[in-house]
Structure 1
Amino acid sequence: MNQIDIVRLRGLANANEEDAALWRWFSLLLQDSRIRWRLTNDTWLVSVDHRHVATEATFDEAVRAAKARIEGTDKRR
C-alpha cells in the first residue's frame, strides 16, 4: 500500500467517524423531540429547542450546519 492509499483510507475513516457522530447527535435530539426540520422554497430549515439554527439547500447540509452552530464550531460566524 502506498502513501496515497494510506492517506485516502485515513480520510475515509475520519469521514465515517464524523458522519456517525452527526447522526448520533441527530437521533438523540429526535428521540427527545428537540429537533425539527422543514422544507420551504427549496431550502431546509432546522430548529433545535424551538430556535431556528440552520437554513441550507440540502437536508444533510442543514443538519450539519445546525450541529456546528449548536456546538459552537460554525466557521462561518
Structure 2
Amino acid sequence: MKYLLVLLVIVVAVGVWRSRRRAENLDAQRPARNAGSRLQPPQDMVACAHCGLHLPRSDALAQGADAQLRYYCSAQHRAQGPA
C-alpha cells in the first residue's frame, strides 16, 4: 500500500512538472508568433507588358491612359514597349 501511495505522488509530481514546462514553452513562443502575425493584405499583381514578369502593382511602372494602361517591371522595358 505504501508503494502505491509513493507511485501516485511521483505520477502527480511528474504531471505537474510537465504541465508547467509546456506552459513555459508556449509563453516563450508567443512573442515570436505575435511579431510576425500581422499579415499584410494581398496586393494586386500585374504582368509586365514586355517580358510577362508578374509583380505587385505598387512596384510596377505604368504607362498609357486608363483604357490602354500597361505595366512594366523596369524603365528599360517601358522604353522598349510591349513585346
TM-score tier, shorter chain, comes to 0.3 to 0.5
Instruction: Give the TM-score, by structure 1 length.
Output: 0.35
| TM-score (ref. length: structure 2) | 0.33
Quick check: which one's strand share is greater? Answer: 1
Based on CA coordinates, which of the two structures has the bigger radius of gyration? 2
Structure with higher RCO (Cα < 8 A, 6+ apart): 2
